[in-house]
Amino acid sequence: MNPFLGYALSGVLLIGIGLYGAIVYGHLLRKIIALNVMSGGIFLVFIALARRAPGVADPVPHAMVITGIVVAVCASAVALVLSVRVAVETGQAALPGDHEDRA
C-alpha cells in the first residue's frame, strides 16, 4: 500500500474526529481543540496528496499549508479571546443551549 495514501487516510480520520468533537462537545475549549484537530487533518491530506513524482517534493502545498497554519493560529487566538470574554460575561464556558460537559 502506498504510504502516502495512508497519510491521506489518517488525515481524513483526523478530520472526522475533529468535526465530531466540534459538534458534540459543549465546552468551548474542547470545541476549539477539536477544530484544530480538524485543520491538522486537512493539512495532512494536503501534504500527502501533493507528492507528484517520486523523490520530488512539490513546494506549492508546503506554501499553502504554512499559510493555512498561520490562519489557523490566528483563528484559534480570536476564538480563545472570545471564549474567555464569554466565560466572564455569562459565567459559563459554553454557548447558550450547550452544556459545559465537565464530566
State yes or no: residue 21 binds other proteins (CB under 8 A).
no
Q: If you search the block for the grid coordinates 480563545, which residue do you land on? A: 80
> In this structure, what C-alpha cell is assigned to residue 8?
491521506
Shortest distance (Å) from residue 5 CB to other proteins: 11
Task: Out of 13, 57, 73, 78, name the contact with other proteins by CB under 8 A.
Answer: 78
Is-contact 33 91, C-beta < 8 A?
no
Is-contact 93 20, C-beta < 8 A?
no
Q: If you search the block for the grid coordinates 460575561, which residue do you land on? A: 89
State yes or no: residue 5 binds other proteins (CB under 8 A).
no
**Crossing angle between the packed helical segments 28-49 and 3-24, to the nearest 10 degrees:** 160
State yes or no: residue 89 binds other proteins (CB under 8 A).
yes
Task: Out of 20, 57, 73, 85, name the contact with other proteins by CB under 8 A.
Answer: 85
Q: Give phi and psi for 13, each to the nearest 5.
A: -60, -45
Question: Where on the chain is the footprint of other proteins (CB under 8 A)?
Answer: 15, 19, 22, 28, 31-32, 35, 38-39, 42, 45-46, 49-50, 52, 58-61, 63-64, 67-68, 71, 74-75, 78-79, 82-83, 85-86, 89-90, 95-96
